[in-house]
């Protein structure tokens, strides 16, 4: 099936990824073909080591494929250099990782404002404040990451990912470091943000119940897509 360029948010064609230098070079992705429609929600499942994080890194413009093409929002990522990719990600792509990756010397508010400040946005702090309120952390803006619970840190990371109003939201096992109840609350929040913004959601998970909340489930094994199904 093909999509017109405006409805396809992500197009990957025959993407291969090998990392490391010989003799320890590892072939990680073996020819991935994937098209994701704008506004869709996609769960990426697969055993540990199957290449999920690597595929996300390639689709999010964090890693260059060894060969093949990646087009995101009509931009040919494979044709851009590192600097151009960084600019292309800004305002288009939000990323939430398992380990939060907040800057420890910055408050919650500063962490969320960083992407906007980098983009030269004058209203960075007021927008960051509003985004923290959206994730229920209006009263934690001047806390440092070490003063926040894991669930609160992940909410800060979601606010940081959403503050640039990206059309594409990636999350790599966002509940992997959280207890079950906190993880469920974080997933509710991610789906709520997806629904409110209409942004495409691409979430890596080990949890079939969580994957079932997405409209589409893609499964990787050994760097290849082995199933691709859509909720009835
Ligand atoms: N920088 C790297 N150099 C060499 N091999 C890597 C590198 N990053 C990941 N790998 C290997 O690629 C495979 C896929 O890793 P990853 O994408 O993290 O899988 P997953 O997220 O599904 O657990 C693993 O075998 C991993 O060891
Ligand atoms: Mg991973």
**pLDDT surpassing 70 at residue 3:** no
Query: For 57-110, what is each residue's pLDDT tens digit?
Result: 999 999 999 999 999 998 999 999 989 998 888 889 999 988 889 999 999 999
| pLDDT band, very low/low/confident/very high, at 2 (cuts 50, 70, 90) | very low
**pLDDT surpassing 50 at residue 1:** no
Closest ligand 1 atom, residue 55 Cα: 17
Closest ligand 1 atom, residue 48 Cα: 23
Closest ligand 1 atom, residue 54 Cα: 17
Q: Buried (b) or exposed (e) across 193-214, using 16+ Cβ within 10 A?
A: bbeebebbbbbbbebeebbebb
- Comparing CA positions, the residue from 158, 74, 154, 160 lying closest to residue 114 is 160
The pLDDT of residue 232:
66
| pLDDT band, very low/low/confident/very high, at 194 (cuts 50, 70, 90) | very high
Output the CA 66–ligand 1 centroid distance in Å: 14
Counted residue by residue, the chain has a size of: 232
Output the CA 53–ligand 2 centroid distance in Å: 4
The whole-number average pLDDT for the span 224-232 is: 91
Output the CA 98–ligand 2 centroid distance in Å: 9
d(CA 155, CA 181): 14
- Comparing CA positions, the residue from 103, 59, 93 lying closest to residue 78 is 59
Query: For 196-208, what is each residue's pLDDT tens digit?
Result: 999 999 999 988 8
What does CATH list as the number for 39-64+81-230?
3.40.50.300
Minimum-distance ligand to the CA of 46?
1
CB count within 10 Å of CB 149 equals: 12
Residues with CB under 6 A from ligand 1: 19-20, 26, 28, 46, 48-54
**pLDDT surpassing 50 at residue 4:** no
pTM assigned to the model: 0.92
The pLDDT of residue 6:
54
Query: For 19-38, what is each residue's pLDDT tens digit?
Result: 999 889 999 999 999 999 99
Output the CA 45–ligand 1 centroid distance in Å: 15
Query: For 144-188, what is each residue's pLDDT tens digit?
Result: 999 999 999 999 999 999 999 999 999 999 988 888 888 888 889
- Going from N- to C-terminal start, the domains of the chain cover 39-64+81-230
Q: Which residues contact 202 (CB under 8 A, 6 or more apart)?
A: 10, 36, 41, 42, 44, 56, 59, 168, 169, 170, 171
Query: For 110-136, what is each residue's pLDDT tens digit?
Result: 999 998 998 889 999 999 999 999 999
| Per-residue tokens: 211 | 């994957």
| Per-residue tokens: 94 | 């939000």
């Amino acid at each position: 099936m093909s999509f017109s360029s405006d409805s396809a948010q992500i197009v990957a064609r025959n993407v291969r990824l090998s990392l490391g230098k010989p003799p320890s070079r590892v072939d990680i992705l073996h020819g991935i073909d994937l098209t994701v429609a704008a506004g869709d929600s996609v769960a990426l499942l697969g055993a540990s080591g199957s290449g999920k994080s690597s595929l996300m890194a390639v689709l999010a413009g964090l890693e260059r494929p060894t060969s093949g093409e990646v087009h995101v929002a009509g931009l040919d990522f494979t044709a851009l250099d590192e600097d151009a990719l960084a600019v292309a990600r800004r305002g288009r792509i939000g990323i939430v990782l398992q380990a939060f990756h907040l800057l420890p010397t910055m408050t919650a508010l500063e962490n969320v404002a960083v992407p906007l400040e980098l983009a030269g946005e004058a209203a960075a702090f007021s927008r960051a404040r509003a985004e923290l309120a959206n994730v229920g952390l209006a009263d934690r803006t001047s806390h440092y990451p070490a003063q926040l619970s894991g669930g609160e840190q992940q909410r800060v990371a979601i606010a940081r990912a959403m503050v640039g109003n990206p059309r594409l939201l990636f999350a790599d096992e966002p509940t992997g470091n959280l207890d079950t109840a906190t993880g469920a609350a974080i997933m509710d929040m991610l789906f709520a943000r997806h629904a409110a913004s209409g942004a495409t959601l691409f979430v890596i998970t080990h949890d079939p119940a969580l994957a079932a909340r997405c409209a589409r489930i893609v499964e990787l094994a050994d760097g290849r897509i082995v199933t691709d199904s859509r909720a009835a």
